[in-house]
Amino acid sequence: MAAFALSELLPNKWRHIGVVIADITTIIAVIIGPVTGRYGIESHTWQWNFWAAAIAQFLSFLGLYFLYYPPAHPYGIPFRQMIKEIDYVGGFLFIAGAVPVLMGIVWTTIYPSNSAYVVAPLVVGFAGLVAFACWERFANIKHPLTPTYVFTSSYGRDLTAPAIALGVVNMFYYSSSILWPTMINALYTNGGTNWKYGIVLSLPQGIAILTGAGALSIFGSHIKHWQWQLTGSVFVMVLFGSLLALVNTHNKGLMLAFVFLSQTGYGWAIYLAIAVSQMGVEHKDLGISGGISGVARFAAGSIGAAVYTTILTNTTNDWIAKLVPTAALEAGLRESRLAELMASVGTPALAANFSPSIVAAASGAVAEANVHGIR
């Protein structure tokens, strides 16, 4: 909220700096979150990761409430009248559509894609979103949540294209935030047993985002040409993020470099995309553009995370079913124990019930399956 509210207070030339400052605690959380999270699990105090976030959010709320003095309402509407004229029906329809869609996507990681648990929420959700779009377009509303003109202004260049770019950039973050921890756990820390080393490997991703955001704050105003900055930073993010497909069990240093470079590009691109998404609208529509941009950012991120997780999980499981039996049989496992072995993969029972040679063969096959899933 603070990041998008800053657009009302700062001129265009400073907005990218303000957005980074407003989101600095989030960047810090990305850096230290893996550390405190894993230590919390080991020390049974993981709940404090959530309590700390709740406390920080409450302090942010207090700061906004007591210190934020927005400009006069651009439409000149008194507060009570504004409350009465909010598009409550549109808000209900959007929530009724968006929530089931996200549920259906997430449930693809649990149920088959043709299951009613997946299909029904998706159908209901998309129907709700269509109803929301029709309501916003054709209903006679004084203040629609998403007025058509903000999307069509300058043939979509003012808001539509920047909002799409913002959503796509944020989706790419979730790809790296899923793939890199998977690499750390499955390939570089012996299945997660060396968790302290895993924490060290998790730090460069957050530090890279901070590096990119800091570089934008320092050099953005000097470089100018905001659209080319966004194009260049997205190119770096996509190029080195795509090169993660070169992963294997032995090139940890190369993958670490690619993650750092990709996330540096992301740190530059995401905060510039937030700023750019509000540069093209009129001042009276900054609240609308901020809401639309926020939805684009976080909805796309949620969808991306669900899609990436589903693809990674399903592909990895398919390759485990192909590779582990062959590797175990070649290591001397009796075929009659294959079902027991497959049920033990990923659990302590694997090491407890099978010989070291078979465990090593199965673990190597699982690592190779993860490589295929990541690719």
Q: pLDDT (tens digit, 9 = 90+) per residue, 12-26?
A: 778 888 888 888 888
Angle value at C-alpha 298, between 126 and 90, nearest 5 degrees: 45
- CA-wise closest residue to 276 among 210, 224, 222: 224
* 111 within some domain: yes
pLDDT(275) > 90? no
* 116 within some domain: yes
Element (H, E) at 27: helix 24-43
* 272 within some domain: no
* 281 within some domain: no
Beta carbons within 8 Å of 140's beta carbon, 6+ residues apart: none
Per the prediction, the chain carries an average pLDDT of 86
In whole angstroms, what is the distance from residue 233 CA to residue 211 CA? Answer: 12
Domain that holds residue 121: 87-142
* 97 within some domain: yes
Number of domains composing the chain: 1
Band (124; pLDDT cuts 50, 70, 90) = very high
* 150 within some domain: no
pLDDT at 199: 86
pLDDT(249) > 80? yes
pLDDT at 45: 85
Percent of the chain with pLDDT over 70: 95
Band (363; pLDDT cuts 50, 70, 90) = confident
pLDDT(71) > 80? no
Q: pLDDT (tens digit, 9 = 90+) per residue, 161-204?
A: 888 988 989 888 888 888 888 898 888 887 767 788 888 888 99
* 164 within some domain: no
- CA-wise closest residue to 313 among 106, 152, 120, 57: 106
pLDDT(148) > 90? no
Band (50; pLDDT cuts 50, 70, 90) = confident
pLDDT(92) > 90? yes
* 65 within some domain: no
